[in-house]
Structure 1
Amino acid sequence: MTGLNSRVDKLVNYFKSHNKIREQTPHSAKVHSVGWSCDGKYLASGSFDKCVSIFSLSGDRLKQEALFCGHGGSVDQLCWHASNPDLLSTASGDKTVRIWDTRTQKCTANIGTRGENINISWSPNGNTIAVGNKEDLVSFIDVRTMKICAEEQYGFEVNEISWYKDSETFYLTNGQGCVHILSYPDLKTLHVIKAHPNTCICIEFDPTGRYFATGSADALVSLWDADELCCLRTFSRLEWPVRTISFSYDGQLLAAASEDLVIDIGEVETGEKIADIPVEAATFTVAWHPKQYLLAYACDDKDTYDRKRDAGSLKVWGFSNDS
């Protein structure tokens, strides 16, 4: 236990000297989704203003590189390719999924879907993009043909979708507090886990594939063994429905956010609190950098001078206080 305690102490101390925040305001409306490219070179944000902003990270500096416009509706979620750092997919309320290339700064594919899209997940092998819409229809896009190859309509509220590292197992969370695990491509139900007594909102796999975590309307985050499908522990420091979660690159830290005015960062093995980030409004998206302890996030912040207007900002926390 001493080793665990010293690791927790080390992490706590690290963030005492690495809690500086960099802020950017690339959008004219609320930021719905943030995410890092697989190499950590780029940070993308998708907004209600229908645009996607791309930033490069160099040292402790964020620089806006591009603004992708073209969607006719809100960009509700974005997802980078797992191994190609230049490709980004976006799900929009305009009933399309788009794929963007940061090298050419252009949209390389525009795939029509049957509803207003709210969530998206790219399979680890890069071959399939799953997208969910407001009517609880999940569509699977074959990236090689850019066509929808399968659709599944659910009779319950589908909240978030994700892939296991083998790209042959697909997970979704629902309004009944369950995690459904399906085989892909045949979409047969393998398991249904009753994870929470309330709506299960978000799901995230750790980078090693050993664990996944779920966030719920009961304000709990639960950590699961991905092989045994058993709950290992819960994180209970938040008081509002957990909207978004993210594992650090090494799987040691788990960030969780909600309408609480704080983002909670816990140590995965013990559940102990490592740090928290004070915020001024509800937080709906967080994402750890794939190679270092930097957390990108966006809150429902309002403009300093006009409280009716969204700030359209995103922040990155974890830079050295000396930088």
Structure 2
Amino acid sequence: MASRQPDRRFIHKDRFGYLFGSLKTQNYQDPAARGPGSHIIRTLAWNPTGQLIATGSANRTLRIWNPERANARYSTELRGHSAGIEKVLFNPVRDAELASCSSDGTVRFWDVRSKTCVSRLDVGGEAFTLSWSADGKVVIVGRKDDTLVPVSIESLSTPTIMTNGATTEKATSTYTTLPSQPQNTQTNATTFSHHVPTESAPDLDFLATTGDGTVKIFSYPSFTLRHTLNAHSSACLALSLAPTARYLAVGGSDALISLWDTTDWVCRRTVSSEGSGTIRDVSWSFDGRFLCGASEEVGASGLEIFHAETGDSVHSIPVTTSGIPAVAWHPTRYWLAYSSMADSGNAGGLRIVGAAGGGL
């Protein structure tokens, strides 16, 4: 699998807890939240430069935040979905293009600059996950009936006549659903490899977690099964490939995160937090050295950050909420975004460690 190199100097693991622990946490409160349970943020995603973060909620709210301005008046709400937002993800090569999928049966593509939906596709069933290829040309949407729906994205350039008579090129895209791919087992989270297709290596690796505790590695676009990882003793629900492509992290309903070496697909270690529950989301720091998992139950140690090479816990973020549905590391900084569930004494919403100034 192709690797991407980090673009900032890293912090040694022995100093990480001290430095990261000194950072403040910024709270972002959505005005659409109206009490416990009404506004659970299910999904988070940074854009490629880390200047924006998108949140999708159970109450259909899709919002784009400026991480440096916590007040909601500086955010943008994108309206259109008629049911809860299940997954949001920015185009890896276009800073302002966002994909979202919902249990309303659609996937939508947005231009966050103009605040418009540029394409709406009916995928034939409740959509709950999606993955974007590294070159931004393919999105695969996962439906709750265990069917995968590829979407081809073709960028076009069309001439536009300016008011002064000059001609410029305006980039547009077409979005086309391809034949669906039913799966014979419960299919959960998915991701593409970091490989960008070339003439000599046109196929991509596409990975999917399953309800039987395995991770299936397919060749795209043929969907030929290349390899199966027997990852967990119960359902695998989350996965994330490190930015360096060295490890694949897999989270399961057994409260464990397993780390798989992508050179030989051997499990090198597992990590877990005391008292935590099902792992719903996993995210890597930009340098591929630290990872964190989101759990529907927060353990006694809080939201825990692990060092990938040793499995050591390097820092715990104290939390008072009953669950953390989603986590997302900043793409170039040691900032960590997470969602918290509303309960008595806690409004819930988006939190970002490091965004309140003095970030690493």
TM-score (norm 1): 0.91
Q: CA deviation at 1:320?
A: 6.7
Aligned residue in 2 for 1:250: 287
Aligned residue in 1 for 2:183: 154
Moved more, 48-57 or 30-39: 48-57
Which residue identity lines up with residue 244 of structure 1 in the other structure? D
Aligned residue in 2 for 1:100: 110
2:291 and 2:305 in contact (8 A); partners too:
yes
Aligned residue in 2 for 1:8: 13
1:211 aligns to 2:247 (yes or no) = yes
CA–CA separation in structure 1 for the residues paired with 2:193 and 2:344 = 39
- Corresponding residue SS for 2:19: helix
Q: CA deviation at 1:263?
A: 1.4
CA–CA separation in structure 2 for the residues paired with 1:318 and 1:284 = 19
1:171-221: CA deviation from partner (whole Å, max 9, x where unpaired): 000010000000000110000110111111100011111211000111110
* Residue among 313, 319, 323 paired with 1:273: 313
Unaligned runs of 5+ in 2: 1-10, 34-38, 155-173, 197-203
Which residue identity lines up with residue 267 of structure 2 in the other structure? C
Q: CA deviation at 1:8?
A: 1.9
- Corresponding residue SS for 1:150: coil
Aligned residue in 1 for 2:327: 286
1:17 and 1:321 in contact (8 A); partners too:
no
Aligned residue in 2 for 1:3: none
CA–CA separation in structure 1 for the residues paired with 2:138 and 2:326 = 23
Moved more, 62-71 or 277-286: 62-71
Q: CA deviation at 1:53?
A: 0.7
1:47 and 1:312 in contact (8 A); partners too:
no
Q: CA deviation at 1:224?
A: 0.9
CA–CA separation in structure 2 for the residues paired with 1:78 and 1:12 = 30
Aligned 1:125-204 pairs, distance under 5 A: 125-144=135-154, 145-166=174-195, 168-204=204-240
Kindly report the root-mean-square deviation, in angstroms, between the aligned alpha carbons of the 2 structures. 1.8
Do the aligned partners of residues 148 and 12 (structure 1) sit closer, same or farther apart at CA in structure 2, a change above 3 Å counting?
A: same
Q: CA deviation at 1:17?
A: 1.4
Which residue identity lines up with residue 317 of structure 2 in the other structure? I
- Corresponding residue SS for 1:284: coil
Aligned residue in 2 for 1:301: 342
* Residue among 271, 277, 300 paired with 1:240: 277
- Identical pairs, percent: 30
Which residue identity lines up with residue 264 of structure 1 in the other structure? E
CA–CA separation in structure 2 for the residues paired with 1:66 and 1:300 = 21
1:29-86: CA deviation from partner (whole Å, max 9, x where unpaired): 211111100000001100112121111133xx43533100110111111111112110
2:26 and 2:356 in contact (8 A); partners too:
no
1:51 and 1:69 in contact (8 A); partners too:
yes
1:23 aligns to 2:13 (yes or no) = no
Q: CA deviation at 1:257?
A: 2.1
Which residue identity lines up with residue 207 of structure 1 in the other structure? P
Which residue identity lines up with residue 106 of structure 2 in the other structure? T
* Residue among 32, 36, 41 paired with 2:42: 32
Q: CA deviation at 1:318?
A: 3.0
Aligned 1:54-133 pairs, distance under 5 A: 54-58=64-68, 61-62=69-70, 64-133=74-143
- Corresponding residue SS for 1:62: coil
Q: CA deviation at 1:322?
A: 6.5
Do the aligned partners of residues 17 and 241 (structure 1) sit closer, same or farther apart at CA in structure 2, a change above 3 Å counting?
A: same
Q: CA deviation at 1:140?
A: 0.5
TM-score (norm 2): 0.82
Do the aligned partners of residues 93 and 268 (structure 1) sit closer, same or farther apart at CA in structure 2, a change above 3 Å counting?
A: same
Highest Rg: 1 or 2?
2
User: Between Structure 1 and Structure 2, how many residues are aligned?
Assistant: 310
Unaligned runs of 5+ in 1: 1-5
- Corresponding residue SS for 1:283: coil
